[in-house]
Structure 1
């Protein structure tokens, strides 16, 4: 194991973390790796804290334990944090995003049975579903979450109205493969390693990766209650810094990535075989039907800080999709909410501490699978611009 980072790099005195131990929740997903490695390799001690990792069974459990204070912070779905903030993903609480933990690295998986009927990608699935509307059930991991929004976006980009043409259910990520195998669902969107595990188990095929939907999309956030961030700013800054260092370490070499895989595959973390994790971490993909490719936009944890900055436009995008699908009944103050939730000032301080580059602005631009450009400039117009959305197709079906 690499030598642990030395302790005490924070500025003693007024900058000392308010808490020595930080209770951080996570789900067994590959993208928890930077949190795990920050604790395992001692990057947390470098900044005067100890990360106490707590494995959780579902995103609902993460939400509830963040809300009750049983967890100080958590590896969390970006859309979960914003769902709780807006009171549509559980009881309303003022929430905070400290940083983005990853880009890319999720997948949409279809059952072998669907593949046997010719549905192997979005276009072929749409053709099958036109003949049998509402005959198929798809799972996401939390109603306002990242996977729900990417699943719905992908379906709609292929002409499928998620709530009119399909049935949608919520399933915790580690239970996806078993539910697919049992025939309870026909497909799912979840983080790795569960998409690749479905292939290894012979029960699913990869129809799309989420980086094909949105290259370098936001993934999990490091989330907390806004009250905790306000009362413990030095602790939060130290936590961000430790995770930045861990992400940088993971991406420093292939050997480090393989060491990370060995660590997170253990029973305390993902409790799965290394083979389910390693191939896609190294960018080696297959769809389960003989197609193989190397993906430069596989799961990323740092990219010289480009992954981790809490862009306001990332948070705003989730609100546009919550509005699109009728979860938000009224137009929110997109910029105001994102500016309050995303803790840009704390992140900038941690970036300076770790020598991490900072972007020029608070927004970024991307072109998604349907050709639409998202840049945060007019979120209300963007939310209303889709041909397939709740207001146009689903209100009468609800």
Structure 2
């Protein structure tokens, strides 16, 4: 029997319902639940599969689930009340970096392979291309918009952007309802295996080692149950560390293949969940831990999403963006949990160079926004 961790006081809540969407990067939640990694921290985990990110949002807000594997941008969209209900939200930790992609239909991918630019290939359709992402303020919408703009394509004027739940992406591409999509795995691998399209870009090419899914909850949950929140962070850190081993990626791919989790063949999941690039020379592998370098909820990462909402005209109010990011990202709770686990906490600042050569360091947001040639 696992000995309980007595570093902190006992969790105020011992059974937690965690929401997730059928994606390979739900692996930390799956590992935590299937291996009962919460036992030593005094909690048990119940996985609650959701059909869409909107369902994750709604059930977090209603209290039907306690926390969730969530799009970074979903948390900020709810915090800011963009296109839906507003509530004070919390990012407890980052669950993974990289691991997303953009897939286009075979005719478009073939045209690009033959030497056409992305802009030329899309224009040759003779109509606005229909490209899907997974949530209006989510990471995939922001990756898709950023990538298109870097190719000289205006994502709001030249493209019809639609929202589709990740598990529906491959089907929609097969049916001809889409010309392409940005989402997480394994749905790109599924679309490619079905001959409907090919991956033309990886999100790690847009922002190398970008933050992707986070462990999210309502802010009042973290405030009312701080011991529970720390226990949950400790549990997911253990799960992320376990996933660093290549053999464990293989093992979790088999578990994720079950109909209760993803319902996709192990081979398709494992190929793009590997600790190497899975044969995609341009892609950085999905990262879950790397000694804790992945997991710190750096406020400047959250602030970047706010800059993109302003760039695309989704946010026009005069608010203190940096203060919002500092209130959402629970850096103090994370630091306490990481210290108890003996995990180093990275620095607050991290500069990143994007695919268009722009550098984001969390500094002067007004100057950063003014530097974009394409925006709302």
For this structure pair, what is the TM-score category when the shorter chain's length is used for normalisation? over 0.9
Poorly superposed stretches of 4+, deviation over 3 Å: 119-123, 130-134, 283-286, 292-296
Q: Which residue is equivalent to 1:141? A: 134
Query: Residues 130-175 of structure 1: CA distance to partner in whole angstroms, max 9, x if unpaired?
Result: 4456431000000000000000000000000011111100000000
Other structure's SS at 1:259 match:
helix
How well do the aligned residues superpose, as a CA RMSD in angstroms?
Answer: 1.7
Mapping of residues 125-140 of structure 1, within 5 Å: 125-132=118-125, 134-140=127-133
Query: Residues 54-98 of structure 1: CA distance to partner in whole angstroms, max 9, x if unpaired?
Result: 000000000000011111100000000000000004211000000
Compared with structure 1, are the counterparts of its residues 187 and 283 closer, same or farther at alpha carbon in structure 2 (3 Å cutoff)? Answer: farther
Compared with structure 1, are the counterparts of its residues 244 and 33 closer, same or farther at alpha carbon in structure 2 (3 Å cutoff)? Answer: same
Q: Which residue is equivalent to 1:19? A: 13
Query: Residues 203-256 of structure 1: CA distance to partner in whole angstroms, max 9, x if unpaired?
Result: 1100100001110001001110000000011101000100101111110x2211
Q: Which residue is equivalent to 1:327? A: 314
Instruction: Report the CA distance between 1:42 and its aligned residue.
Output: 1.6
Compared with structure 1, are the counterparts of its residues 340 and 123 closer, same or farther at alpha carbon in structure 2 (3 Å cutoff)? Answer: farther
Task: Say which of 18, 39, 42 aligns to 1:45.
Answer: 39
Compared with structure 1, are the counterparts of its residues 111 and 283 closer, same or farther at alpha carbon in structure 2 (3 Å cutoff)? Answer: farther
Other structure's SS at 1:19 match:
coil
Q: Which residue is equivalent to 1:124? A: 117
Work out the CA distance in 2 between the residues paired with 1:190 and 1:51.
26
Other structure's SS at 2:259 match:
coil
Cα contact 1:216–1:297 (8 A) shared by 2: yes
Query: Residues 31-50 of structure 1: CA distance to partner in whole angstroms, max 9, x if unpaired?
Result: 11011101111211110001
Q: Which residue is equivalent to 2:2? A: 6
Compared with structure 1, are the counterparts of its residues 195 and 82 closer, same or farther at alpha carbon in structure 2 (3 Å cutoff)? Answer: same
Other structure's SS at 1:309 match:
coil
TM-score (structure 2 length as normaliser): 0.96
Q: Which residue is equivalent to 1:109? A: 103
Q: Which residue is equivalent to 1:395? A: none
Does residue 298 (structure 1) correspond to residue 285 (structure 2)? The answer is yes
Q: Which residue is equivalent to 1:95? A: 89
Q: Which residue is equivalent to 1:368? A: 354
Task: Say which of 22, 25, 31 aligns to 1:28.
Answer: 22
Task: Say which of 187, 212, 219 aligns to 1:219.
Answer: 212
Does residue 153 (structure 1) correspond to residue 140 (structure 2)? The answer is no
Work out the CA distance in 2 between the residues paired with 1:145 and 1:367.
20
Q: Which residue is equivalent to 1:346? A: 333
Work out the CA distance in 1 between the residues paired with 2:115 and 2:273.
24
Other structure's SS at 1:162 match:
coil
Does residue 282 (structure 1) correspond to residue 282 (structure 2)? The answer is no
Cα contact 1:19–1:49 (8 A) shared by 2: yes
Moved more, 76-85 or 264-273: 264-273
Query: Residues 103-139 of structure 1: CA distance to partner in whole angstroms, max 9, x if unpaired?
Result: 00000000113234x0359962211234456431000
Work out the CA distance in 2 between the residues paired with 1:50 and 1:70.
16
Aligned residues: 376
Cα contact 1:122–1:158 (8 A) shared by 2: no
Other structure's SS at 2:145 match:
helix
Gaps of 5+ in 2: none
Instruction: Report the CA distance between 1:262 and its aligned residue.
Output: 1.0
Compared with structure 1, are the counterparts of its residues 133 and 357 closer, same or farther at alpha carbon in structure 2 (3 Å cutoff)? Answer: farther
